[in-house]
Amino acid sequence: MNPKEILAKIAEETATCEKCELHYSRKHAVPGEGPADAEIMLIGEGPGFHENEQGRPFVGAAGKFLDELLTLIDLKREDVFITNVVKCRPPGNRDPKPEELAACSDYLERQIHAINPKVIVTLGRFSMLRFLPNAKIGQIHGQAMSIRGRLVVPMYHPAAALHQRSLKPIIEADFKKLPELIQKTDTIIEYQEEEHKRKDEPKQLSMF
């Protein structure tokens, strides 16, 4: 299967997936969308009300702001792949539970493999924690980290910036750094994974 076919297969699987309890209340799974050869992959938290209605990621207020952020760097939604760490809406937009994140993780992992993006932008805490388990968003937002050879840039969630206006210029400034970060991969800090690893984790644990 080529990357496009793999992505289509993943979308098909999520539509009928019953691997966690989020399937009970979903209307539509939201597998994510964008080109199979996207250089930039944006990973949010989970579908909200509008996403659950439409089966598409970031179509509500946060999505509108995300479109504005992409425009700042001359990108359109069609240029990037957008998805979430959980593909079905947590009821009432509650936080995804650890067992839901674990159950859904394989879909995201396969999407990352298929797309092989140059850079992954994590939007919000749950997405960041998947790659940077002990990181604090206030300390590392907008900084590019090289994690096993792949660039990961943690950002605040666009919805957070809508609720807390002081975050708006911060997330805008972080987005504006993206084009340069993609060009200058040699200046990127290698994330000290060992320091953040729990002692009982297997050595070969792959994050991708």
Enumerate binding residues for ligand URA (CB under 6 A): 44-48, 51, 57-58, 62-63, 84, 159
Closest CA to 83 of 114, 140, 99: 114
Q: Which is nearer to ligand URA, 54 or 146 (CB)?
A: 54
Q: Is 20 in the site for ligand SF4 (CB under 6 A)?
A: yes
Q: Which of 88, 132, 153, 155 binds ligand SF4 (CB under 6 A)?
A: 88
In this structure, how many other beta carbons lie within 10 angstroms of the beta carbon of residue 71?
12
Q: Is 101 in the site for ligand SF4 (CB under 6 A)?
A: no
The H-or-E segment that residue 154 falls in is strand 150-155
Q: How far is CA 198 from CA 78, 109, 133, 147, 203, in A?
A: 38, 21, 9, 16, 10
State the binding partner of 44 from ligand URA, ligand SF4, none, CB within 5 to 8 A by kind: ligand URA
State the binding partner of 85 from ligand URA, ligand SF4, none, CB within 5 to 8 A by kind: none
Q: Which is nearer to ligand SF4, 50 or 197 (CB)?
A: 50
Write down the least CB distance from residue 72 to ligand URA, Å.
Answer: 19
Q: Is 108 in the site for ligand SF4 (CB under 6 A)?
A: no
Q: Which is nearer to ligand URA, 34 or 44 (CB)?
A: 44
Radius of gyration (C-alpha) of the chain in whole angstroms: 16
Q: Which residue is nearest to ligand URA (CB)?
A: 44
State the binding partner of 103 from ligand URA, ligand SF4, none, CB within 5 to 8 A by kind: ligand SF4
Q: Is 104 in the site for ligand SF4 (CB under 6 A)?
A: yes
Q: Is 23 in the site for ligand SF4 (CB under 6 A)?
A: yes
State the binding partner of 159 from ligand URA, ligand SF4, none, CB within 5 to 8 A by kind: ligand URA
Write down the least CB distance from residue 112 to ligand URA, Å.
Answer: 17
Q: How far is CA 108 from CA 42, 136, 151, 186, in A?
A: 11, 22, 16, 27
Distance CA 3, CA 154 (A): 25
Find where tokens 């309890």 sit.
Answer: 21
Write down the least CB distance from residue 62 to ligand URA, Å.
Answer: 4
> DSSP code of 75?
-
- Look up residue 27 and give its two tokens: 């209307």
Distance CA 14, CA 96 (A): 16
> DSSP code of 201?
S
Find where tokens 């509008």 sit.
Answer: 50
